[in-house]
Structure 1
Amino acid sequence: MTIKKIFFDTETTGLNCRNCQIIELAMITVVDGKIVEEYDEFIKYEKSLPFKITKITGITDAMLENEGLSEKQVASDLRERLLDDALMIAHNAQFDLSFIYFLLKKYYPDEAYGLLSKLDWLDTLTVLKDRKKYPHKLIDAVRYYEVEEVNFHRAIDDTKALYEVFNELKKERNDLDEYKNVFGYNPKYGVGGLKFKFIKYGAQQFHNFKVPDNMILPNLISKK
């Protein structure tokens, strides 16, 4: 059986998925353990980028204008890659899932939700919170597992780092299948973005240790 995994990341104009836009989408497709495609595209943006976003990402208005594809083209590229069954993997997947949903909904309103709901989703942030003490950003995971550091806050570099972190998480404890379609959230703030029916959400506390099998979030949710 062919196992397709898509590691993905977005850079955006802000945090609100309803009124902000993706400006960079990166995907690494892995089939049977081998990288078969690296996708990384800027998306044109009709306004000027907020200064804070340029400072964080290094992405400029000129880069988007000169190198960016149309939003419609990137939405088409994304849709094409999601037509086959796949395991979608991101760090803080709730954020990226919310953004790609609104991107697809804009151009494929009748397909977007169904397209995403048939896939499986894995959030490495949720896994990391059950393994390591705070903090839990991708850069922290890279340092915990001594993965080579990259240019963080650029989607393709973050995606490459994510791929390496995933492999380390799998080697550390082979329970990642339990986390499919399970997203943890900070009980202080609740679920951010759009709440999806095909995802199980659970309030996730911080730990200072790797929790035993019976305390991982998927098992705590299943007991409720």
Structure 2
Amino acid sequence: MKDQLFAVIDVETTGGGINGNRLTEICIVLLKDSVIIDKFTSLINPEKEIPRQITALTGIDNAMVEDAPKFHEVAGKIEELTRDAIFVAHNVNFDYNVLRNEFRELGYEYNRKKLCTVRLSRKLIPGLFSYSLGRLCDSINIPISNRHRAEGDTDATVILFQRLLSLDDDFKVINSFLHVRSRQATLPPHIEAEQIQELPESPGIYLFKDRQHKVIYAGKAINIKKRVVSHFYDRMSKEYNLGQQTYHIDHETTGNELIALLLEAECIRKYYPKFNRAQKRPGPVYQIVSYTNQRGILQLALEKTTKKRESIGTFYSRTLAQEKLEYLCREFKLCPKYCSLQSNVEECSHYSIVSCEGICSGKEPVHAYNKKVKAAIASLVEESSTFVIREKGRHFEEEAFVLVKSGQYQGFGFIDTDAQVSRIDDYEPFLKRQPATYYTHKILSNYLRKQGKPKVIFFEEEPEVPQQVNTARAEMNAAILASHGTLSLFS
């Protein structure tokens, strides 16, 4: 182990999630026997715009990288330098996955053993207040300059790693971090032990791929490594066949279960893996819709559908949808007959709703009744809130977020814990956009019911609504607007 080569690496990127995260700078320092034997550093042209907040953090702007080499021009050098080395970084999964994805864009698989100086520091230098690179270096008197630039952060990480090596001179801790668990040694025939060794023990998703790199199974896990290994020790024939057909395993960490669930749903929708059974077909939803009948009366009705359609409100059970209709009837003095709560009657005679003011018997003018219906519709639209759910990030220096605008899921992202965000637009540069589907809405619905709203930040934002709803809003009393603050989609 004394002659082992270590590549200490730091990268700077454009931000925006792992898949869309492109390199803007890289620094590699090679160590053998704790001595620096080589160093490589370079700006990288990411072939996309660098967001302003990233420039504010790193100092790297579009002009600086305009004439820098593109990744494919330095990929060979990076591969050669790190070929026989263990990949070392502070929060190693971030740097490793960004670099690995750059190679995948070129059609190559980049696989290295990894060591995380955060985890090593926690083990070998326990009890510190913080293990972020800056605070850790301050705590143990390591000089660090040119922060958030690849070379500056790498130089500091090198000194940190040299100290960690001196604290583990028999490599007992390092070997334990590199060791593949004995249970993981018995693997399907086409899986290399290194593929299991690379898997993190943190929340995220994993993809099983066949010989042609086609996704055959997508799953989510709170502990990716543990969940992947469990597939190979399941005696069911489906799991055995899955193992026999798996040649490659990819993963993406998310830091929390919510984003893992959302990302799993998107992978199943996108790849339609043959070993996945759930989530391949959308389940039914119940939608409140409106239409004008032959008398000119604006009616509300329930529709059961498996397709995404325009509606006033969407619910995942008939009971919830009917409860909402009954609430609207009482709150806005509507008629049960014209809210689909009664049928085949001349005049309403609902067992519990007696607030109808006579539209069904001709006692109430149609225009006055329609005005109340529009107010009820507007109240539901008001419930389609804009909000952000804040969750744990992939490491302790970042937070994850899920963005919902006007009741519609927009996607998720990761943001530095020190970043200043006060408006909904501040999240946009970090957002990885995702399609809203039946399953994403159901996942968020279940999350809000179970978790409540302690991690939810609501924003004032006008949703786009039909003209008649805008007109109704103008006529509504402020008290009505103030009395509805929940998201109708998740009612």
- Which bracket does the TM-score occupy, shorter chain normalised? 0.7 to 0.9
Aligned to 2:38, the other structure's residue is in SS state strand
What's the counterpart of residue 105 of structure 2? 106
**Which amino acid counterpart does residue 75 of structure 2 have in structure 1?**
A
Q: How does 1:31-42 map to 2 (within 5 A)?
A: 31-42=32-43
Q: Determine if contact 1:122/1:181 at 8 Å carries over to the other structure.
A: no
Distance 1:79 1:55, change over 3 A: same
Cα separation, partners in 2 of 1:181 and 1:24, compared to 1, 3 Å: farther
Deviations 1:37-89 (A, max 9, x none): 111111113333111111110111111013x1112112222122233x21111
Cα distance change of structure 1 residues 33 and 62 upon mapping to structure 2, 3 Å threshold:
same
Once residues 163 and 155 of structure 1 are traced to their aligned partners in structure 2, the CA distance between those partners, rounded to angstroms, is 12
Following the alignment from structure 2 to structure 1, what is the Cα–Cα distance between the partners of residues 140 and 16? 28
> Counterpart of 1:50 in structure 2: which amino acid?
P
Q: Within 5 Å, give how 1:1-224 maps onto structure 2.
A: 2-66=3-67, 68-83=68-83, 85-107=84-106, 109=107, 111-112=108-109, 115-116=110-111, 119-130=112-123, 131-174=126-169, 175-180=173-178, 197-202=196-201
Q: CA deviation at 1:100?
A: 0.7
CA distance in structure 2 between the aligned counterparts of 1:172 and 1:34, rounded to whole angstroms: 15
Taking a change above 3 Å as real, the CA distance of residues 11 and 181 of structure 1, as seen in their structure-2 partners, is farther
**In structure 2, distance between residues paired with 1:24 and 1:79:** 16
Q: Secondary structure at the match of 1:151?
A: coil
Does structure 1 conserve the Cα–Cα contact (< 8 Å) formed by 2:113 and 2:198? no
Give the structure, 1 or 2, with the largest relative contact order (CA under 8 Å, sep 6 or more).
1
- The one-letter code matched in structure 2 to 1:129 is R
The 8 Å contact of residues 79 and 104 in structure 1, kept in 2 or not, is answered as no
Letter in 2 for 1:28: V
Do 1:129 and 1:136's aligned partners in 2 also have CA atoms closer than 8 Å? yes
Instruction: Check the 8 A contact 2:6/2:30 in 1, yes or no.
Output: yes
Cα shift at 1:200: 4.7
> In structure 1, what is the Cα distance between the partners aligned to 2:163 and 2:178?
17
Cα offset for 1:32? 3.2
What is the total number of aligned residue pairs between the two structures? 184
Shift of 1:181: 6.6
Q: How many angstroms apart in 2 are the aligned matches of 1:201 and 1:82?
A: 20
- For 2:164, give the aligned amino acid: L
Single out whichever of 13-22 and 154-163 deviates more from structure 2: 13-22
8 Å contact from structure 2 (residues 47, 70) kept in 1? no
Letter in 2 for 1:37: D
TM-score (norm 1): 0.73
Q: Which amino acid aligns with 2:81?
A: R
CA contact (8 A) 2:8 2:29 kept: yes
- Structure-2 separation of matches of 1:181 and 1:8: 21
Q: 4+ residue stretches of structure 1 with deviation over 4 A?
A: none
- Aligned equivalent of 1:212: none
RMSD: 2.4
- The runs of 5 or more residues in structure 2 that have no matched partner are 181-194, 203-225, 227-491
* 1:176 to 1:140, Cα distance in 2 relative to 1, 3 A: farther
Q: Tell me, yes or no, if the aligned pair for 2:34 and 2:162 is still in contact at 8 Å.
A: no
Q: What residue identity is the alignment partner of 2:115? A: L
The answer to whether the 8 A contact 2:34-2:165 is kept is no
Instruction: Give secondary structure in 2 for the equivalent of 1:103.
Output: helix
Is the Cα–Cα contact under 8 Å of residues 120 and 181 in structure 1 kept in the other structure? no
The percentage of counterpart residues that share the same residue type is 23
| Counterpart Cα distance in 2 of 1:181 and 1:90 | 18
